[in-house]
Structure 1
Amino acid sequence: MLQLPIVAFAASSVHRTCLKGTRETVLQTIWHWADDDTSEKPIFWLCDIAGSGKSTVAMSAAESWQEKGVLGGRFFFSISSNEASTTEKFCSTIARDLVHHIPELAPHVAGAVKRNLSVMRSSLDEQFKTLITDPLLCRQGRVILVVDALDECKSASQRRKLVEAVSTAVRANKNLKIFMTSRPDPVIDAVLGPLSIKSKLEDRLHDVRHSDNIGDITIYVHQSLDGILSKEKRQKLIDKSNGLFIWASTACRVLSDYTSLIPAESTYNRLVSMDQAGAIDDLYSLIFERVAFEYHAVMYQMLALLLAAFEPLTADDLDDILKHAGVEGSASALVRNLGSVLTEDGTTKQIQFRHPTLVEYLRRCSSNPTVEAHNK
Structure 2
Amino acid sequence: MTQQKKIHDQRCELVKPAEAAVLKDLPSAKAAEYRHGDRRGCLKGTRGPILGEIELWVTDPHKPPVYWLNGLAGTGKSTIAQTIAERIFADGQLGASFFCSRDFQDRSNLKFIFPTIAVQLAHNYPGFRSIFVPLIQSDPEIAHESLHNQIDKLIVRPLKKSSISTVIVIDALDECKDDEPASAILSVLGHFVSQIPNVKFFVTGRPEPRIREGFRLPLLAEATDVFVLHEVESSQINSDIQLFFRHNFSELKGRRRGLDDWPSGKQLNLLCEQAAGLFVYAVATIKFIC
Q: TM-score, normalised by structure 2?
A: 0.82
Letter of the structure 2 residue corresponding to residue 148 of structure 1 = D
**Larger relative contact order (Cα-Cα within 8 Å, sequence gap ≥ 6):** 2
Q: Is the 8 A contact 2:181 2:209 kept in 1?
A: no
CA apart distance, 1:114 = 2.1
Residues 270-317 of structure 1: CA distance to partner in whole angstroms, max 9, x if unpaired? xxxxxxxxxxxxxxxxxxxxxxxxxxxxxxxxxxxxxxxxxxxxxxxx
> Quick check: 1:2 aligned with 2:35?
no
Name the counterpart of 2:110: 87
Residues 235-281 of structure 1: CA distance to partner in whole angstroms, max 9, x if unpaired? 2211210110000011011112xxxxxxxxxxxxxxxxxxxxxxxxx
Is the partner of 1:94 in helix, strand or coil?
A: helix
Is the partner of 1:8 in helix, strand or coil?
A: coil
Letter of the structure 2 residue corresponding to residue 244 of structure 1 = L
CA apart distance, 1:161 = 1.8
User: Among residues 158, 161, 164, which one is paired with 2:187 in the alignment?
Assistant: 164
Name the counterpart of 2:49: 25
* Structure 2, gaps ≥5 residues long: 1-22, 254-258
> Quick check: 1:245 aligned with 2:267?
no
The worse-fitting range, judged by mean Cα deviation, of 103-112 and 26-35 is 103-112
User: Among residues 127, 131, 155, which one is paired with 1:108 in the alignment?
Assistant: 131
Letter of the structure 2 residue corresponding to residue 183 of structure 1 = R
Post-superposition, which runs of at least 4 consecutive aligned residues in structure 1 deviate over 4 A?
none
User: Among residues 244, 247, 258, which one is paired with 1:220 in the alignment?
Assistant: 244
> Quick check: 1:236 aligned with 2:270?
yes
Is the partner of 1:181 in helix, strand or coil?
A: strand
Residues 52-110 of structure 1: CA distance to partner in whole angstroms, max 9, x if unpaired? 10001001111111111111111111111111111121111101110222233211110
> Quick check: 1:254 aligned with 2:288?
yes
Counterparts of 2:187 and 2:29 in 1: how far apart (Å)? Answer: 21
CA apart distance, 1:159 = 6.7
Counterparts of 1:73 and 1:27 in 2: how far apart (Å)? Answer: 19
Counterparts of 1:86 and 1:14 in 2: how far apart (Å)? Answer: 21
Q: Is the 8 A contact 2:186 2:214 kept in 1?
A: yes
Is the partner of 2:183 in helix, strand or coil?
A: helix
> Quick check: 1:197 aligned with 2:228?
no
Name the counterpart of 1:303: none
Counterparts in 2 of 1:213 and 1:237: CA distance versus 1, 3 Å: same
Residues 102-146 of structure 1: CA distance to partner in whole angstroms, max 9, x if unpaired? 233211110221232221221111011111111111333421110
> Quick check: 1:209 aligned with 2:233?
yes
Counterparts of 1:223 and 1:207 in 2: how far apart (Å)? Answer: 25
Counterparts of 2:272 and 2:194 in 1: how far apart (Å)? Answer: 44
Name the counterpart of 1:188: 211
Residues 340-372 of structure 1: CA distance to partner in whole angstroms, max 9, x if unpaired? xxxxxxxxxxxxxxxxxxxxxxxxxxxxxxxxx
Letter of the structure 1 residue corresponding to residue 190 of structure 2 = S
Counterparts of 1:144 and 1:34 in 2: how far apart (Å)? Answer: 7
Counterparts of 1:4 and 1:159 in 2: how far apart (Å)? Answer: 28
Q: Is the 8 A contact 1:62 1:146 kept in 2?
A: yes
CA apart distance, 1:34 = 1.0
Counterparts in 2 of 1:37 and 1:207: CA distance versus 1, 3 Å: closer
Name the counterpart of 1:135: 158
* Structure 1, gaps ≥5 residues long: 257-376
Q: Is the 8 A contact 1:151 1:159 kept in 2?
A: no
Letter of the structure 2 residue corresponding to residue 108 of structure 1 = I
> Quick check: 1:62 aligned with 2:95?
no
